[in-house]
């Protein structure tokens, strides 16, 4: 079963706040987990990529994977108005990326100045 759940929002927070974005999934075979950022009328942009469980940090962004709970998160520290976008989680199985990623429907994030 290929299913990924993601709250569509909108999620509105004040500038400088810590943002938490989440996805849950049902397929225990997923091993690769990604977060994409999509600005209005633009293509998705790869933000973070992790393999299996654990944390990965890149600047103000931290991706977290908990395979035991089938739950992934993206944290944004010191949020900025330029972070306002739709955030898509995506995942794939080993070698399964050859037939595409499974995406959440995206969370619309608004950072209020």
Partner 1 sequence: DAGITQSPRHKVTETGTPVTLRCHQTENHRYMYWYRQDPGHGLRLIHYSYGVKDTDKGEVSDGYSVSRSKTEDFLLTLESATSSQTSVYFCAISALAETQYFGPGTRLLVL
Using CB under 8 A, list all residues that contact partner 1.
Answer: 32, 34, 36, 41-46, 49, 88, 90, 92, 95-101, 103-106
Report in angstroms how near the CB of residue 18 gets to partner 1 at its nearest: 25
- Which of 3, 57 has the CB closer to partner 1? 3
Report in angstroms how near the CB of residue 101 gets to partner 1 at its nearest: 6
- Which of 79, 88 has the CB closer to partner 1? 88
Residues contacting residue 74 through CB under 8 Å, at least 6 positions apart: 19, 20, 21, 22, 35, 47, 48, 61, 62, 63, 64, 87, 89
Residue for token pair 């569509």:
8
Report in angstroms how near the CB of residue 44 gets to partner 1 at its nearest: 5
Residues contacting residue 80 through CB under 8 Å, at least 6 positions apart: 15, 111
């Amino acid at each position: 079963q290929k299913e990924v759940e993601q709250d569509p929002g909108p999620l509105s927070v004040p500038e400088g706040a810590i943002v938490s974005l989440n996805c849950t999934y049902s397929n225990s075979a997923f091993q690769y987990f990604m977060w994409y950022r999509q600005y209005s009328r633009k293509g998705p942009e790869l933000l973070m990529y992790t393999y299996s469980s654990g944390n990965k940090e890149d600047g103000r962004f931290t991706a977290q994977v908990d395979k035991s709970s089938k739950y992934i998160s993206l944290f944004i520290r010191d949020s900025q108005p330029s972070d306002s976008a739709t955030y898509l989680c995506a995942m794939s199985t080993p070698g399964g990326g050859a037939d595409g990623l499974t995406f959440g429907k995206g969370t619309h994030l608004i950072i209020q100045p």
